[in-house]
Amino acid sequence: MMKTITLEQIDFEKVDTLLEGFNKSTGFVTAILDLDGNVLSKSGWRQICTEFHRIHPETSKKCTISDTVLANKMEEGEKYHFYQCLNGLVDVAVPIVIKGEHIANLFSGQFFFEEPDSSFFSKKAEKHGFNQEIYLKALKKVPVVSKEKVLTAMNFLLNMTHMISDMTFQKMEQMELNEALIESENKFRTFIMASSDSVYRMSPDWNVMYELDGRGFIVDTAKPNAGWFQEYIPPDDQENVMSVIQEAIRTKSLFELEHRVWRVDGSLGWTFSRAIPRLNANGEIFEWFGAASDVTERKQAEEKIKENYALLRIAGEKAKLGGWSVNLAENRSYWSDQVATIHEMPIGYSPLVEDGINFYAPEWRDKITEVFTRCVQEEIPYDEEMEIITSTGKRVWVRTIGEAVRDDKGKVVKVQGAFQDITERKLAEETLRLERSNLNSVLENMQSGVFFFDQKGENCWMNPEALRIHGFSSAFDMLERFSQYTQEWELMDPTGRVLPIEEWPGSRAFRGERYQNYEIRLRHLKSGRTSDVLYSCAEVRDISGNIERLVFTILDITERKEAEDKIHEQLNELRRWFEITLDREGRVLELKQEVNELLKQCGEASRYESAIPDDPDATIIS
């Protein structure tokens, strides 16, 4: 009885459609026979069998024997079995097993593994009185197929029997479920009343019969409600929801769908709906039983995740940053789109580990192999900057970061990390390095002294000329000895007045004063050595406008001052000579011209021009 009930549950309409398609695409004929030899379904059986072998009493008996042999082989538990029937053709059978019970066999056959012996079949036609011409034409229609092709087809048929089993099993389960639902309806109603989901029953035309609502989606109703669809489903969602419902009605199958719905409070939420058709003894839907869950918070979270992912993707594209992972069991790398783009490879490219390492420039391959191996074996993470060579031969600087990932048993199964194109940064760093090198070279060789202080008076840097002027061996020496500096040196203004420490250039700068050409004289107290220097102070601000450091330039003007003093002395001598030698015979103007030429050569013509009178009778005051 169980076998009869099970066979009735097989959807032979679907099975016939699938087998007919299999026959048309492959040329293999098929049939389903129960264990008593009754044909339940067939597709494209061979003419030589249907019009000859299975009609003649003697050859038909051989067909029955062959079917019995194949069926018995299936009882022995084989997946499928090949058999050359007593009429000379090859048959194969695949068992149909449902819930562990062998109920039928799927047969395919009437083919040859090699060209048949036509004389054998000519004798068979003569023996059994077949029309030999028609019989041999039918023989030629039987295909000769390699065993490899047959095995491929048998795998398909094996999957077909599994599908038939699954479909029938599901249908039986559905029927059993419907019976269980009827029996447990009252218990289930009590359970749903205590849950947070909405549960409903509907008529075959989807009128709500009753609904238990735990989340405030739709108003509870104890009477049929035909207008619920237009009332509670937003217009933009109605077409999609209705198409799913109509497909479920057509196939008499369960449907699942997420859609928006108006809540009782007027707000728009999201629900996950699932409905199961309940079938009567004739297989017709007599009602739908469904449930709906409020998934609004989850959908909002998903939207937030999508938004964040989009932002991360944009950020990754702008920063040329991507992610990667290596499945150690597969020895294969999986790259994000951005990582593939950096390598100038197609999106979705997933190289073997060795192929990924080969993208690194030859001088870096040993290094990346070392750090990756240590990460896998010792779980030591790495963060390295190296060069790769892209698929087009372009050299690219990258930053690669990796860390080991364990499974729940503590075994390292994966290495994952980040990958970034840092070529622009490297070029900028190199440009900055060259600029700094050039600047340092200029500063090191300048005839003027230059030194920097930060706002706290720390982190000082001085070029050689600044160190020489101040008598230090290094900037560090200056910082270490600054407190002694006031005891070793005294500073004076151009008039010779000794400056208190609060008037020293550094003190003035740190009080906020900025100045140009602040002239002072340095005198070393022990040796008596003096130097005349010219200070200037400027400030460097950061991008926020805050003062970052102070910049001092110092010019040693000792020699210039000495030259000026000498010129002044010579000019004073010249003036005294004027007072002694000038006569009143008109030689004053001639001498004045000669003196002016001399003064111009000294750069002091304008300063001392008034010292020479135009009037010979004028008196020059020394």
* pLDDT tens digits, one per residue of 470-517: 777 776 666 665 556 666 778 888 888 888 888 888 778 877 788 888
Comparing 152 with 374, which gets the higher pLDDT?
A: 374
CATH number 3.20.20 is the correct assignment for the domain at 2-174: no
Q: Residues 184-300: name the CATH superfamily.
A: PAS domain (3.30.450.20)
Q: What percent of the chain has pLDDT over 70?
A: 77
Tens of pLDDT, residue by residue over 284-340, are 888 888 878 788 888 877 777 676 666 556 655 666 788 889 999 999 999 988 899
112 beta partners: 144
Q: By C-alpha distance, which of 475, 509, 506 is closest to 489? A: 506
Q: How far apart are CA 175 and CA 4, in angstroms?
A: 16
Per-residue pLDDT band at 390 (split at 50, 70, 90):
very high
- Residue 482 or 38, more confident: 38
Q: Is the CATH number 3.30.450.20 carried by domain 446-556?
A: yes
Tell me the three state secondary structure of residue 113. coil
Homologous superfamily of 322-426: PAS domain (3.30.450.20)
pLDDT of residue 224: 44
Residues of the chain with CATH 3.30.450.20: 184-300, 322-426, 446-556
- Looking at per-residue pLDDT, the higher value among 494 and 380 belongs to 380
Given a contact cutoff of 8 angstroms between Cβ atoms, the answer to whether 2 and 69 are in contact is no
High-pLDDT (> 90) share of the chain, %: 13
Name the token pair of 476: 């560090």
Q: Which of 293, 284, 272, 292 is nearest to 205 (CA)?
A: 284
Long-range contacts of 184-192 (CB under 8 A, 24+ apart): 192/291
User: Which amino acid belongs to residue 535?
Assistant: Y
Q: Give the strand order in the sheet containing 268-279.
A: 208-213, 198-202, 285-294, 268-279, 255-262
